[in-house]
């Protein structure tokens, strides 16, 4: 029977995402100057205030206040009327040294025996309904906000936009679990104050429908057939949205984990990513399971795959690997048999995940808005400066877990 499915996204100016981006900027700076850093950093943002808390084991000292301000400025909180502004907000640091009780379970004299930084289960998911092997509703939700942010920075076609925004896309699926059309789109965007509210609402709706949506369709022609005149649009449905960002709502690191992953498709183990170095399997194993799922689907093992891995704190070898193909497997194997082969192909001990995906590099700031999964792998050069004036330029690979570098190995292992 046909059904509807919905996913949402939030912009880089959403308060929870501001917190995520600050936490990941700290991770990148620690790893840039000390790749062996162990970091778990949480951020809280509210009216005129940033609070940093967490645990760090590192050889480098950082100006965490300046890093936080740089992130806030880059996002676009640069005006005093936002009640949260890069130069004037207070930044309080309560970061302290990592517990030795935790560290002794992770560090080993033989690096290959590195233990998991925590217990828990992590999930990776992939589906062939988009080119990026991501759920379509989430992919569209991200793209709407990425384009809205581009329009805000251009400040030409639409000049009143502020950084905070949310989107939501509802898709209609047919009896074969294939998306056939967009049923509804919700966009709420923060904006400058208008003298006349009805005029403001009409202007925002007109600009979203006549500028934003056509640009999204033009840049994503594969999705053009999903747009039609039957879509229900809800544009700033509460009306006025002037007060937003950390002044409108307190933001916390790790509160948008479904936006960060698969938009409600597949499953989630519950652990957030941002603010954690790769010894924390909440992050590294979630990336590794996505890498597995994507390569399996791309190789033709199944149309849709969920991968689970679980760990005990301080133990290198996973408790187990689980595979669910949702009945879409193209092989004459059970999901359990597929899992056994996956275990042979991919070493899921934490050290080997870090090495395979090059995770001890400063690659995390780019993950902290618009999703950690489904992004395009690329090589970039980044510049970092320490408080003592040392400058480092580092060339890194971003989103290595999105590479289809195991497809041939998967095909060979499964005889495809």
Binned at pLDDT 50, 70 and 90, residue 104 comes out as low
φ and ψ at 33, to 5 degrees? -100, -20
Res. 103: pLDDT tops 90: no
pLDDT at 149: 98
Tell me the chain's radius of gyration from C-alpha atoms. 22
Torsion angle of C-alpha atoms 234, 239, 245, 250, degrees rounded to 10 = -100
pTM greater than the 0.85 cutoff: yes
Structure token pair of residue 292? 């597995």
Residue with the bigger pLDDT between 194 and 26: it is: 26
What's the rounded Cα separation, in Å, for the pair 48 and 88? Answer: 7
> Residue 275's pLDDT is what?
97
> Binding site for K(+), residues?
42
Nearest to 293 by CA among 133, 414, 177: 133
Q: What is the mean pLDDT of residues 27-46?
A: 96
Where does the pLDDT of residue 192 fall: very low under 50, low under 70, confident under 90, or very high at 90 and above? very high
Place of tokens 């990148």: 28
Residue-wise pLDDT for 373-414, tens only, equals 999 999 999 999 999 888 999 999 999 999 999 999 999 999
What pLDDT, on the 0 to 100 scale, is given for residue 107? 59
pLDDT of residue 391: 93
* Per-residue model confidence as pLDDT tens digits over 276-291: 999 999 999 999 999 9
Q: Which residues are annotated as a binding site for ATP?
A: 14, 164-166, 240-241, 249, 255-256, 272, 276
- Write down the pLDDT at residue 115: 76
Please, what is the average pLDDT of the chain?
95
What pLDDT sits at residue 100?
Answer: 64
Residue ranges of the annotated binding site are 14, 16, 42, 55, 98, 164-166, 240-241, 249, 255-256, 272, 276, 280
Instruction: Let me know if 284 is exposed, middle or buried by CB neighbors in 10 A (0-12, 13-18, 19+).
Output: buried
List domains and CATH numbers for the chain: 3-10+136-243 (3.30.300.10), 15-103 (3.30.300.10), 120-128+256-414 (3.30.300.10)
Lowest-confidence pick of 85-99, 198-212, 318-332: 85-99
Report pLDDT digits (tens) over 221-238. 999 999 999 999 999 999
Alpha-carbon torsion (260, 265, 270, 271), positive or negative:
negative
Q: What is the pLDDT of residue 195?
A: 85
**Residue 253 pLDDT class (50, 70, 90 cuts):** very high
d(CA 402, CA 294): 7
Cα–Cα distance for residue pair 303/297, rounded to 1 Å: 6
Banded model confidence at residue 132, pLDDT cuts 50, 70, 90: very high
List helix spans (H) across 358-416.
Answer: 407-414
Q: What average pLDDT does range 303-312 have in this prediction?
A: 97
pLDDT at 98 over 70: no
Could you report the per-residue pLDDT of 110-130, keeping only the tens digit for each?
676 687 878 899 999 999 999
Annotated binding site for Mg(2+): 16
Rounded Cα–Cα distance for residues 140 and 130 (Å): 10
Residues in the annotated binding site for L-methionine? 55, 98, 249, 280
| Percent of the chain topping pLDDT 70 | 96
Q: Which residues contact residue 8 at a Cβ distance below 8 angstroms, ignoring those fewer than 6 apart?
A: 141, 166, 167, 168, 169, 186, 258, 259, 263
Rounded Cα gap, residues 124 and 329, in angstroms: 17
pLDDT of residue 178: 92
> Average pLDDT of 138-150?
98
């Amino acid at each position: 029977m046909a059904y509807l499915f919905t996913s949402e996204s939030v912009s880089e100016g959403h308060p929870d995402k501001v917190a995520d981006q600050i936490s990941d900027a700290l991770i990148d700076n620690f790893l840039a100057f000390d790749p062996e850093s162990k970091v778990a950093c949480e951020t809280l943002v509210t009216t005129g205030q940033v609070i940093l808390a967490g645990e760090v084991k590192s050889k480098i000292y950082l100006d965490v206040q300046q890093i936080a301000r740089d992130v806030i400025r880059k996002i676009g909180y640069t005006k005093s009327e936002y009640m949260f502004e890069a130069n004037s907000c207070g930044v309080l640091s309560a970061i302290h040294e990592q517990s030795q009780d935790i560290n002794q379970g992770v560090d080993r004299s033989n690096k290959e025996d590195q233990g998991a930084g925590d217990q828990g289960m992590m999930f990776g998911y992939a589906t062939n309904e988009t080119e990026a092997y991501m759920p379509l509703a989430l992919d569209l939700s991200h793209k709407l906000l990425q384009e809205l942010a581009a329009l805000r920075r251009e400040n030409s076609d639409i000049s009143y936009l502020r950084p905070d925004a949310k989107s939501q896309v509802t898709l209609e699926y047919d009896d074969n679990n294939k998306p056939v059309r967009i049923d509804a789109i919700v966009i709420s965007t923060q904006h400058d104050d208008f003298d006349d509210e009805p005029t403001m609402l009409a202007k925002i709706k007109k600009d979203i429908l006549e500028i934003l949506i056509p640009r999204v369709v033009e840049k994503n022609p594969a999705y053009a057939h999903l747009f039609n005149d039957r879509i229900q649009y809800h544009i700033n449905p509460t009306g006025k949205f002037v007060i937003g960002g950390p002044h409108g709502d307190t933001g916390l690191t790790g509160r948008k984990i479904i936006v960060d992953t698969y938009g409600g498709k597949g499953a989630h183990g519950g652990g957030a990513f941002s603010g954690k170095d790769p010894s924390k399997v909440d992050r590294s194993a979630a990336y590794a399971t996505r890498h597995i799922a994507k390569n399996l689907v791309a190789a033709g093992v199944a149309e849709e795959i969920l991968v689970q891995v679980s760990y005990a704190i301080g133990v290198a070898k996973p408790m187990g690997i689980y595979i669910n193909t949702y009945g879409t497997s193209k092989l004459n194997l059970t999901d359990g048999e597929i899992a056994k082969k996956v275990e042979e192909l991919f070493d899921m001990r934490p050290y080997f995940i870090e090495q395979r995906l090059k995770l001890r590099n400063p690659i995390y700031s780019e993950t902290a808005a618009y999703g950690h999964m489904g992004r395009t792998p690329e090589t970039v050069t980044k510049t970092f400066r320490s408080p003592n004036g040392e400058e480092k330029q580092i060339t890194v690979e971003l989103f290595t877990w999105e590479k289809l570098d195991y497809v041939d190995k998967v095909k060979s292992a499964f005889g495809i």
